[in-house]
Amino acid sequence: MTGSIVLFGPPGAGKGTQADKIVQLTGKPQVSTGDMLRLALSKETELGLEAKKYMEAGQLVPDNVIIGLIKDRMHESDARNGVLFDGFPRTIPQAEALESITEVSTVISIEVPDEDIVNRIVGRRMDPENGEIYHITFKPPPTEVAHRLVQRKDDNEETVRMRLSSYHEQTKPLGDWYMEKGILHAVEGTGSIEEVARSISKILTFL
C-alpha cells in the first residue's frame, strides 16, 4: 500500500499501542512530531533552534516549523512509500499543509466514547521504580507493588475532560474533513487491544 497513514482518535484511545502494530503490518515508519522535535533540538538544527525559541517562551511551536520537520523527515529513504503519522495532523490547516508534502491514502479513526476515555485515563497508575503502567480496574497491580504506585498529575478527571473538549473542538472536525475525501475508516476502540488490532488489520488488508 502506497501513501501515508494517519492514526486519529481522542487522547487515551490506544493510538500508541495500535501504532506499533500498524508499523509491523505495513513496514511504514512511525512519525511522531514530538520525537522529531526532540531530535531536532538535540542536534541543534535550524528548525530545532527555531522551535526552541517558542518552547522556552512557553508557546506552542508554530505549524510552519512542524511542517518543515515533516518535510525533512519525508526525504529520508525509509519514508519512500509513506509513513504512519501518530498525533498529527490535529487541525484542518495542518492537514492541508501535509497534503503538499505527502499523499495521505488512509486515515484510521479509533472511536472511543468520552466516558470510557475518562475511566481509562483516571484509573491509570504507574510504578515509579520500573515505569510499568497498571489500571485500578482493567490491570490491577500485584499486591506487593500496589503501595508504591502513583497517579500522573495530568491523569485527573478535570484535565482529561479539558483535553477531550479541546479534541472535540479542534481535532474532531478533521475527521469530517477526511471523511469527505473518502479515506476515513472508523474503528470501534472499546474492545480489547487484539480486537482493535484485528479491525485495523482488516482495513489495511483490503486497501
Q: Which amino acid is at 156?
A: N
Does residue 90 have an active-site annotation? yes
Nearest alpha-carbon partner for 152 in 110, 189, 120: 120
Question: Can you read off the three cell numbers belonging to residue 186?
Answer: 472508523
Does residue 163 have an active-site annotation? yes
The alpha helices in the chain, defined as continuous H runs, are 15-26, 33-43, 46-56, 63-74, 92-99, 114-122, 143-146, 157-166, 172-180, 193-205
Which position among 80, 152, 181, 202 bears the catalytic label? 152
Q: Which letter does DSSP use for residue 94 in this model? A: H
Question: Can you read off the three cell numbers belonging to residue 24?
Answer: 509491523
Which position among 21, 52, 161, 163 bears the catalytic label? 163
Helix (H, G, I), strand (E, B) or coil at 145: helix
Nearest alpha-carbon partner for 104 in 84, 79, 129, 126: 84
Which position among 52, 90, 172, 198 bears the catalytic label? 90
> What CA–CA distance (Å, rounded) separates 54 from 66?
12
Is there a cis peptide before residue 89, judged by omega within 30 degrees of 0? yes
Please list the residues that pair with 107 across neighbouring strands.
6, 184
Which position among 15, 28, 120, 125 bears the catalytic label? 15
Does residue 125 have an active-site annotation? no
Active site residue ranges:
15, 90, 124, 152, 163
